[in-house]
Homo-oligomer: A and B are copies of this chain.
Amino acid sequence: MNLLLLFDTDFQTATGVRLTGRRLEHVRDIHRLQVGDELRVGLLGGGQGTARLLLLERDALELEVNLNAPSPPKLPLTLILALPRPKVLNRVLASATSLGVARIILVNAWKVEKSYWKSPRMEEANLLHQCILGLEQARDTVLPDLQIRRLLRPFVEEELPALIQGTTPLIAHPGSGIPCPRGMTTPVTLAVGPEGGFLPQEVELFGRAGFQAVELGPRVLRVETALAALVSRID
């Protein structure tokens, strides 16, 4: 946690915050701060700055907050991500958020097992929590726009044409032979498949919607590794 994320509801006065639970424990047990110490804080959806620890008790802490700096800009990047298996989902969401991806759309694909959609990790509270962990990691305060599309074909055929307007649409597909472009200056819409990849028919479906298949090289990477490598290459 490189930034303690605050919510509007944490404020008791204009600059006074009271925290309990996970954030209290983190400040006390991981940061090991004492009364008088400063730490970096941010307001969800707002600015960031520093806070001074005014009070640290067993059940709560209190902060005096000064928000005077902006958060880092988002990358102009929409990520269309085949739903990863539950064990990987949390890490990928936090990682994509930390990288600054502006919009994440979780979609179905042939190799996404049906059970993934029923995982408790798909509950909204968990999805939000993972994004918040990513913000705290990257010292950001602005959530990505996270959306879910359970059906791939209607999404690609009906929604994507409007979504990709003004962006370069790319689909990561090992074996395409086309290197992923570097240092893009336009916004990008990037589709990333499940473990095992998109089916050829799925790549064609994206292709008909205007997506160019690209790859990082001959190596097949895990989704979380590929995602960071692709975003870094494109950025």
Contacts and interface: CB of A to CB of B under 8 A. Distances in A.
Oligomeric state, in copies: 2
Interface of A: 2, 72, 94-95, 98-100, 137-140, 182-183, 216-222, 224-233, 235
A233 B140 CA distance: 22
A230 to B, nearest CB: 7
Contacts of A216: 232
A94 B225 CA distance: 10
A17 to B, nearest CB: 22
A219 B231 CA distance: 13
Nearest to A232: B229
A182 B184 CA distance: 12
A87 to B, nearest CB: 11
A144 to B, nearest CB: 13
A182 B99 CA distance: 17
A111 to B, nearest CB: 12
A225 B227 CA distance: 9
Contacts of A230: 232
Contacts of A182: 182-183
Contacts of A224: 95, 224-225, 228
A138 B231 contact: no
A222 B95 contact: yes
Given A95-B225, A100-B219, 14 more contacts: A72-B218, A98-B222, A98-B225, A99-B219, A99-B221, A137-B220, A140-B219, A182-B182, A216-B232, A217-B235, A221-B228, A224-B224, A224-B225, A229-B231
